[in-house]
Amino acid sequence: MNNEGLACFILAGGEGQRLLPLTRFRAKPSIPFAGNAALIDLTLLNCHRSGVREIYILVQYRYESIVRRVKLNWRAVEQQRDMAIFFRPAPESAGGYRGTAQAVWHNLELVHPTKVRDVLILSGDHVYDMDYRAFLAQHRASEADLTVASTAVPVEEASRFGILQFDGGLRVTTFREKPAVPDTLRRAGCAMLHASMGVYLFRAEVLRKALAAQLSLRRDADFGRDVLPAMVPDARVFAFPYVDPSGHLGYWRDVGTLESYYQTQLETAGRRRRFQIRIPPDFPTSPLRRSFWDPLTGTVCGSDCRIEGEAVDSVIGAGARIAPHARVTEAVLLENVIVEGGACVRRVIVDRGVRIRAGTIIDGGTRAGAASWAGGALSREIAVISTDGASSRMPLRRRPVTT
């Protein structure tokens, strides 16, 4: 499918308050993921493999962290002229973007009325591996005004997502944003519902009219809450069920909480990992190429990390060091973390630059320097260790298997 006539916006302006303390000094899309990558790199990789060559990233909160991360990982790609990436902060006079709809509206002058036929709108903080060319092909073949990529989620989690229903021809008949009682939307005997992935394809002129209509009603209009539900009754809105090349439900995660971030990170690790970042063979030299997965220990390692102790089923960030006789299990360590000799950590997120002192035990939120690590019963919680040395505890619920 020819990508001519396609404009692409990546929404990357949210604060990510549910990911504090990790978002205290960085934007949510720039949070490290699977070694050397950041969350936004996954969306950019999808664009790269799909032949989307001109991308506008709409930034706001702590946007310098996004710019710095993207420039580091994508400089060589831009130098080869394989992609052009532009950052679009809100105009200072506007006082910041008030919502996702306003963010796109402020940048529609980039969409040439005669040259751009369709507008691809993506999120900068979701984890998935998708070729948008099939998405675009269906969108144009069905002559859709809007196509929404969808995935299946358990009914018990559906209140976190925009839920849609569609007929046998994939035309959307109902859209409910974060329904309070999602059970009323499911078919008898079905434990899953169809959720929006936050991946949209609009006909350009339809998008312009839809945004104008919603922003006339409220300045903080949102795609899921306002734009999509208003379009479903009268416009040609279609679903694109996301499946992998084998025809099975594709892997997709909305990394919106510390729990989902931790679990999704660990799904890139383990000896039977469920997701891996695919770097094309012809991808130029970049830090993205320097992460690796050790199948013997199930650990993902970033560049320049040094493991002299033991790391099992974990994700170790760039420049981190695990000293001799230290043990790390089911943990997520960000950049430049140091775990000193004799320390043991399990079920932990450790922010960048933190030093875990010798002999410290962190096990599901329990910190006791004199305690000894035991491989027996463990609490179903994780600890989050921030850069100021504070720790917090949070419950860890096991995610139902959906892929």
Q: What does the domain layout of the chain look like in residue ranges?
A: 6-256, 275-395
Token pair for 368: 């006791």
For position 382, what pLDDT does the model report? 74
Q: Would you say the CATH fold of 275-395 matches that of 6-256?
A: no
For position 2, what pLDDT does the model report? 59
> 241: helix, coil or strand?
strand
For position 398, what pLDDT does the model report? 36
Long-range contacts, stretch 308-314, CB < 8 angstroms, 24+ apart: 309/339, 309/341, 313/266, 313/269, 313/270, 313/271, 314/266, 314/269
Give all strands (DSSP E) within 178-279, no chain letters: 192-203, 237-241, 252-254
How many other β-carbons are positioned within 10 Å of the β-carbon of residue 335? 19
Alpha carbons 31 and 26: distance in angstroms, whole number:
7
pTM, to two decimals: 0.90
Alpha carbons 67 and 86: distance in angstroms, whole number:
9
For position 389, what pLDDT does the model report? 46
For position 401, what pLDDT does the model report? 30
DSSP 18: G
Token pair for 198: 């936050």
Q: CATH code for 275-395?
A: 2.160.10
Give Cα 321 distance to the centre of its chain: 26
Q: Which residues have C-beta within 8 Å of that of residue 354, sequence separation ≥ 6?
A: 337, 338, 385, 386, 387, 389
**Domain over 6-256 is classified CATH 1.10.10.60:** no
DSSP 185: G
Ranges under pLDDT 70 in the chain: 1-2, 93-94, 188-189, 364-381, 387-403
Alpha carbons 283 and 45: distance in angstroms, whole number:
10
